[in-house]
Amino acid sequence: MNHALVIGIGNPWRGDDGVGAAVVRALSGHPGLETIHCHGEPAELMDLWAGFDQVFLVDAVVTGGAPGTMLRLSADQPLPRPARHSSHGLGLAEAVELARALGELPPQLVIYGIEVESLDDGAGLSPAVAAAVPEIVETIVGELQQRKVAKTQRVQNGF
């Protein structure tokens, strides 16, 4: 059985930071998939994904790319951790690396970062980011299917 979870991270009241929540809304009710929105606190994330074998994190990113651009990172590799000077809030990459150090990463963890345009208070998603939501949804559903197929093949091949 495929046991997958999508976690949308970010503050829906801060413009494009709401992209995680928007993706979760769009995927809610999709068969074979659970969805949840959270703020990305490390202990909370580890609790949420415990027991799932495939987890997708969706969050806003700022890397200087065009708004709406989708960045895919797999936690198979250590995530790049930018130097942080304020550590009372741990970033998502730090949360993932902390979970790795504690041996609490799910078997498959993929992070989708969506380049933002605006993080204004009270604003909705910008057109570019809103337009990217269906694409992210489609990509996640595609990955889910692929894994299902791969699993079925493994079962058929007797692995």
Task: Give the interface with other proteins as residue ranges (CB under 8 A).
Answer: 39, 41-44, 46-47, 83-90, 94, 97-98, 101-103
Shortest spacing between CB 159 and other proteins, in angstroms: 31
Q: Is 9 in contact with 92 (CB distance < 8 Å)?
A: yes
- Report the residue number, 41 or 53, with the smaller CB distance to other proteins: 41
Shortest spacing between CB 44 and other proteins, in angstroms: 7
In terms of Cα–Cα distance, which of 128, 134, 104 is closest to 22?
Answer: 134
Shortest spacing between CB 42 and other proteins, in angstroms: 6
Rg value, the chain, Cα = 16
Question: Can you list the pairs that 135-138 forms with residues at least 24 positions away whose Cβ atoms lie under 8 Å?
Answer: 135/70, 136/19, 136/23, 136/58, 136/70, 136/112, 137/23, 137/26, 137/27
- Report the residue number, 46 or 130, with the smaller CB distance to other proteins: 46
Q: Is 7 helix (H, G, I), strand (E, B) or coil?
A: strand
In terms of Cα–Cα distance, which of 157, 65, 147 is closest to 113?
Answer: 65
Shortest spacing between CB 10 and other proteins, in angstroms: 14
- Report the residue number, 77 or 157, with the smaller CB distance to other proteins: 77
- Report the residue number, 62 or 102, with the smaller CB distance to other proteins: 102
Shortest spacing between CB 123 and other proteins, in angstroms: 18
Distance, CA of 120 to CA of 13 (rounded, Å): 8
- Report the residue number, 44 or 143, with the smaller CB distance to other proteins: 44
